[in-house]
Every structure is written in C-alpha cells, then in structure tokens.
C-alpha cells in the first residue's frame, strides 16, 4: 500500500467532521475557522517506541493514548479541543495494526470533539506525533504562572496508577488479578480532564497536567510563579487498587514520581474554594486538596508534620 492510499484508507474522511474545518486532509495545508473571541491553544507530543510506550502495547490503546496525552495539555489550560494533525512514522505498512491504531485514535477524537485535518506518514522507527489545536476565550487560559502565597493545591483523580501499571507490564511488580486489569488500563488509557480544565477557568490561579510525576511537574508552577509549596503526602489520593497492591511508601513513590497519570494539578485562592467545589462537581471529577503555596522557591514534603524524604524525582528525557 502506497502512502496516499494509506492516508485515504485509514485517515481521510474518518472520525468527526467539524463545521469549522474549511479544508481538511488532501491539500498542502488545512484551513480552519477559529471562533470569534477565542484564542488558539496549540500543543505537540511525540511518542517513540520503547521510550514512551512498549512495543507490546495494543495498537488501539496506542492510538487512543497518542491523542489523550495532547488533550491533557489542552485540559490544563482550560481549552476546548478542536483540531489535530498526525505525523506517523512506521517501519512498514501493517494493515491490521493500522486498522486498530486508527480505531483507537478516532474513538478518542470523536469523544472529545476533535477533527483530524492533516499530517504526514513516513518510513522509519515507530513514532507518533500529534499536534492538537484548541480554543479558549481571550484572556481566560490557565497557565503555570499565577500561583500566589496562600493558594491551595489540588489534584484530580488518583495518582501513581499508571506507573504501577507500567511496572506490571514490565514484570517488575506482581499484583492480584483483582487489580491488575484496572492498573494496566490506567497506563494504556488515561483520562484527559478536559471538562475539569474548562470548569477551572477564572477560578484556578495556575494549572498543569501531571505527565512526568507530581514532584517534577509542580516544580514548573513554582518556577513560573516564583513561589514555594508544602505538600502533605498523606493527602495525596491513592486508588484502592494501588493500596491493595503495594505498601504505603511504595504507593507514595509511584504517586510522587511515577508520571503518565495525566491528572490536573492546580492552585486555588481561598476566595474561590467554594466555587471550585461546585464547578468540579458539575464536571464529574473527583479532586482533593494536597497542600498550599508558600513563600520561597522550594517544594517541601511533609507527613504528620515532619519532613518526608524521597530519593527519586520524576521522569526526564535527558
């Protein structure tokens, strides 16, 4: 199968057809029509085989995850998903793999209202690059800057499940069959908190998605906002599957350093705490307060009022 046949068969005219796409796949560029009063939010992520995903990952899960990690970036800025491009590099054309990959990709795209408007295909080691475009009302985007002394720190969902799921796949951790499926699914199929991000606009003072681990990712907020933070590790939300599978210290290690949870970490001024409760209830996501922004530029972890030490940091590419 040739390149343009591949694009035609697996990607063109598949998935959602948004009315704001004036010209999609098939020309040198796509043309889209951003809504009046909206700013564009653009993010790009590359997933490389055996760096970002195992070669054994089901193709449908890889297709879904390729888009989900980008959607999480939009969520952290309160943006509404709209359009994406896909650059797909493969060692060969495997039609069964492509069928499953495209099904997973378009499952996520249709659910979150995203149209595929272009991209590229080429031969080489397996890697997937998605560039996502979203829209956010002018002046309403959440950023990493904006956290102030006294703001409360929250996270959505539970942390560490994806990292434990990865260790199960790598054979590094044995868990009961009662929890194995859930934990592996949290690694393969993260839930981008798109509605939660939109609900936080005008309420949160800063936000970031948790891709490299809580310890690493919160540092970006502290640096951008020129503040410090105190985190109560016992307040970090852990799933039943996590707590039933490993001891508390191991669970906290996964939660603090594991990465790929794609939950939201955000800060909230005291005056907005009540509004946050209502907003996220309507968004259908669980969230919990884990700490507070403080003067300085350091992250402090505490447990029962005492410093909590952990040797690992989050994921870094280099």
Checking phi first, is residue 127 left (phi over 0); if not, alpha (psi -120 to 50) or beta? beta
Q: Is 225 annotated as a binding residue?
A: no
> Can you read off the two tokens belonging to residue 82?
């709209």
Pairing of strands 127-137, 115-123: unpaired
Q: Is 201 annotated as a binding residue?
A: no
Q: Is 73 annotated as a binding residue?
A: yes
Q: Is 120 annotated as a binding residue?
A: yes
Q: Is 13 annotated as a binding residue?
A: no
Q: Is 291 annotated as a binding residue?
A: no
Q: Is 297 annotated as a binding residue?
A: no
Q: Is 43 annotated as a binding residue?
A: yes
Give phi and psi for 146, each to the nearest 5. Answer: 125, -15
Q: Is 27 annotated as a binding residue?
A: no
Q: Is 315 annotated as a binding residue?
A: yes
Q: Is 45 annotated as a binding residue?
A: yes
CA dihedral 237, 216, 304, 164 (to 10 degrees): 40
**Orientation of helix 177-188 relative to helix 59-76, angle to 10°:** 60
Q: Is 20 annotated as a binding residue?
A: no
3-state secondary structure labels for all residues of 95-138: HHHHHHHHHHHHHHHHHHCCEEEEEEEEECCCEEEEEEEEEEEC
Q: Is 209 annotated as a binding residue?
A: yes
Q: Which residue is it, tokens 């564009």?
A: 40
Residue ranges for the known binding site are 28, 43, 45, 52, 73, 119-120, 144, 209, 211-212, 260, 315
Residue ranges for the known binding site for Mg(2+) are 28, 43, 45, 73, 120, 209, 212
Residue ranges for the known binding site for substrate are 52, 260, 315
Residue ranges for the known binding site for ATP are 119-120, 144, 211
């Amino acid at each position: 199968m040739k390149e343009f046949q591949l694009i035609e068969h697996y990607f063109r005219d598949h998935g959602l057809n948004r009315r704001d796409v004036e010209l999609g796949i098939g020309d040198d560029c796509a043309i889209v029509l951003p809504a009046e009063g909206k700013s564009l939010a653009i993010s790009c992520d590359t997933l490389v085989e055996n760096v970002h995903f195992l070669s054994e990952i089901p193709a449908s899960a890889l297709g879904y995850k390729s888009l989900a990690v980008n959607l999480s970036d939009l969520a952290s800025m309160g943006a509404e998903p709209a359009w994406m491009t896909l650059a797909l590099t493969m060692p060969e054309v495997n039609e069964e793999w492509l069928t499953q990959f495209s099904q997973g990709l378009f499952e996520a795209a249709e659910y979150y209202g995203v149209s595929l408007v272009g991209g590229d295909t080429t031969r080489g080691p397996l890697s997937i690059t998605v560039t996502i475009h979203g829209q956010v009302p002018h002046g309403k985007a959440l950023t990493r800057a904006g956290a102030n002394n006294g703001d409360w720190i929250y996270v959505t969902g539970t942390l560490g499940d994806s990292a434990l799921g990865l260790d199960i796949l790598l054979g590094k951790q044995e868990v009961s069959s009662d929890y194995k499926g859930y934990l592996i699914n949290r690694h393969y199929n993260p839930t981008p908190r798109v509605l939660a991000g939109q609900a936080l606009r005008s309420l949160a003072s800063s936000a970031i998605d948790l891709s490299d681990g809580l310890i690493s990712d919160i540092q970006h907020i502290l640096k951008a906002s020129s503040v410090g933070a105190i985190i109560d590790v016992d307040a970090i939300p852990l799933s039943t599957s996590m707590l039933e599978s490993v001891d508390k210290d191991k669970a906290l290690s996964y939660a603090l350093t594991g990465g790929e949870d794609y939950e939201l970490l955000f800060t909230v001024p005291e005056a907005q705490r009540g509004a946050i409760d209502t907003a996220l209830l309507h968004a259908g996501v669980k969230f919990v307060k884990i700490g507070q922004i403080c003067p300085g530029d350091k992250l402090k972890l505490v447990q029962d009022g005492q410093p909590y030490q952990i040797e690992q940091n989050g994921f870094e590419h280099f």
